Amino acid sequence: MHAKICVIQKKVGTKRIQYGFISTGNLNEKTAKIYADHCLITASRPLLLEVNKVFTYLETWQLGDKPIGKTRNLLISPINMRKSIIQLIENEIKHAKKGKAAKIIIKSNSISDHLLLDQLYKAVKAGVEVNLIIRGILTLKKGTEKINNKIKAISIVDQYLEHARVMIFHNKGNEKVYISSADWMVRNLDHRIEVACPILDLKLKK
């Protein structure tokens, strides 16, 4: 379990109000002072329904149980995150092939998942602009220098440790923005429960 999620319940008279908390990092007394992360507190019912779905799964799971099930908003590892990211990249490829603006920005600690890297190569070949902000591991294939030179990759070393995972897909100008607990690594996508959450509010998205 590597997702950073919380459900907060508040009683107001006879009513019970729920808030959801989704973060890219832990609430840790030490690391919170030196790690740069993003946290979302939300009352969005669609998001809350799916966060609760994750908790219900964790609380009732037994060997052989069915997985969490479909989610429309949250990307969840190992259920649908890789598949959803591939679809988001495919959408940018379609736009690029039609001559429209297409762009992907990924901020992560590490990228080493070869399936997602292959999709980025495919995107670059199609004309998608790919910008990566990677703090640690980035495994680009040897022998693909022409493609690698078209991928803009930087690492930020500053006062705080850059720990946030953010994904931005141009989506014909109506950007799809996600914050996530997961790096693009096999261990995060296949062997841990992780959550990526869309930022739906336009001001927060900006």
Q: Per DSSP, what are the bridge partners of residue 11?
A: 16
Q: Give the CA count within 13 Å in the CB-facing half-sphere of 181.
A: 23
The reply to whether 163 belongs to the active site is no
Is-cis flag, bond preceding 78, omega within 30?
yes
Q: Determine the Cα–Cα distance for residues 190 and 115; give it in Å rounded to an integer.
A: 12
H-helix or E-strand containing 151? strand 151-154
Residue from 120, 99, 125, 98 nearest 167 by CA: 120
**Which tokens belong to 77?**
């590892």
Catalytic residue among 2, 95, 170, 191: 2
Catalytic residue ranges: 2
